[in-house]
Structure 1
Amino acid sequence: MSTDGLSIRIPVSGNKTAGRARAGALWEVLTRRTTWAPLAVDAAAILLAALDVWLVIPEKAEPYSIYLSAFACLALAARRWLPFAVVLGTVPGFLTGWSQLAAMIALGMLATRRQTHWQVWVGAALVWACRFIQWPLSDFAQLSWREHVLDGIYGVLVAGMPIAIGLLIGARAQLSQKLGELAASRDREQRLRDDAVRNEERARLAREMHDVVSHDITLIAMQAGVLAAGGSADAQETARVIRQLSTRTLEELRSLVGVLRSGAADDGPQPGIGELDQLVRDCEVPVQLTVDSVPDQLPAKVSAAAYRTVQECLTNVRKHAPGARATILILGDGDALNIEVRNDSPCRPATTLPSGGHGLTGLAERARLLGGSFETTSTDDGGFRVRAIYPVKS
């Protein structure tokens, strides 16, 4: 592992703070209160209709007209669920009494809910008739033709204004719905375009990996086989190890190419914590491995992350701290898997090998995606230490 003092730290996601908890509770209260808004509107409508009746009712009014007007006002409480029935319920109070505003409010809700349904036009005709006809009918018969024309015009206004407002509100709601559907359609199209771009890039990467990297690794394995056919025992053993590692790398590479070409969401089959013993035996680094209290059923991604963490650390020991001894501690504490890899100071100068510097960064990104933490620090004795925590429960 590198001893250049590189430090990468990603904090573990903690519980919500007290301030966030209070803010969340306040938001829930406000959300619940918004459900009272329709009830408040209905109460206001009933009060306005009742006030309209109270202001225009004469002192010597017939009791039945008062009752019918009051019933028309109270019927507005059901206008959201039974809009047409409420319009019918306001007609007697409007015809024989003074509940004009109640009938207009009921007709407006009917137009908002039903738009151009036949019930709207029937309700409009009834409201117009209530405004045109005067009660009692004997008084209506004594009106002049001019008064009949004026009452007809006023009836059109009384019945037409609620319908116009209701149609406008309904059209606005339909427009909002269409705009929402259009936005959702655009989002779907954008996701499809993004998926197409990603699939094309994955296919390109798969071709490059197959044509270049796979070809070179195959040649390495073949050359190792030729080297194993002759030479000293040490050369044959070295060739055998090279051929074994090349074959294993080629198999993992082919699996990864298959995942890239298929566009699968997961990473395909991955080695897990159960293969650590074999990894330690083949790494050619003195290793002390301790595994304690690890759950029997680890999530596949956590198990693969543990394997890749140890693999990258041992690779860095071989590259940057030759001859150093490594200590690996893997401990499960119920909710998380703790991994610590520590190495001593190198015994001899490191051999210069190509390095992109992305290994530790990749481990940090893997920890972040799993909701864990990753930290690297130099030790006082010239060694290096890596700590990773991966949660095992959601």
Structure 2
Amino acid sequence: MRIAFFSWETRNSIPVGGVAAVVTHLGEALAELGHEVHVFTRIDGGKPEHEVINGVHEHRCVTPGCEDFIEYMDHMCDSIVSQYHWVKNKYGEFDVVHGHDWHVVNALANIKANTGFDRIVWSCHSTEYGRNGNQHADNWFSGRIRHREWLGGYLAKQATTVSYTMKHELMREYQTPEDKINVIYNGTDVHEVRMNVDAGRVKEHYNIWPLDPVILFLGRMSYQKGPDLLVEAVPKVLAENPNARFIFAGTGDLLEHVRGRLDYLGVGGKCRILGYVSDHERRELFNSCDIVCIPSRNEPFGIITLESWAAGKPVVACDTGGPGEIIDNFRTGIKVYQTPESIAWGLNYLLGDKTGAGIKKMGEACRREAEKYDWKQIAKQYVKVYGKI
């Protein structure tokens, strides 16, 4: 089967968030299964326009810059369509065109309208409603994105999303037909996350005592991801576990709020605000922390859950979206409400066993659970969806 992926990000060109990992790993898994995969994405300076990486053809499209981000994405879509026709003439007709998220929907619409090709699958990895923390933003920018998300579900023969919560969100927000939406959970490469580290030395690097338990928040500093909820929980955790320490890693519009609020609450000295971290630092943090906290208000799937499990770390996560569906409560994590009090309760529950045996036992269960989310098995589910069209 010859498959075209349209995505505004991949790990081998311009990675931005979780979609880059999904597109890259899924493409490689499909190639391992014997399919011919072509990924169309933006070009990064210094990289070739066409390259084969781990069996996947990556075609990078030159996209002129633009102050209006949505207009920039429209220019990218035009470049993708141009590259698509060139590749089709060189390699032959595609069996499936698979678009990822709203950024590429205009490219899908262009191809369908101008060529009649309709073997289209669209994957929605998150919605504008969810990215705004379960709120409708009342502005033209958000409205244009919402239109593209509606259009993706409308023009595709089949749609996929990453959790049953997301399926119902698509049905509610965009009236996407239920029988068109396929739920396929994301996967993880456990070997990409796991590494041997001296946890004590890593903690010392951040001026934390080697034996102090560390709670890690790693993600975008945005209202959707809820770092502000964890901030309010910090004093409540320290009241019961004064040796607990917190690391906040990631960038976003709440970064300075988090920093300032922690200082205002008088707990800034117990926390480390790292901002952007490299892939190596990210792996070190996963493997040296004791607990990962996922306080999201909206979490379509939450690859961070699988990454935490792969490193053998239990999670305390708000009971929403993917984490709410895949966590086996009190076995592979603790599900809590979206309140500081509940988040603090979950963290204190795990920290209550001063021997650390409870966290270690749950971490071992997490490592085994992560291995169930193999990308090759997940790729087979996508092949079944392709077979429907």
Q: Larger % of helix: which?
A: 1
Q: Would you tell me which structure has more strand in proportion to its own residues?
A: 2
Higher RCO (CA < 8 A, seq sep 6+): 1
After TM superposition, is the score higher than 0.5? no
Larger Rg: 1
Taking structure 1 as the reference length, what is the TM-score of the superposition?
A: 0.19
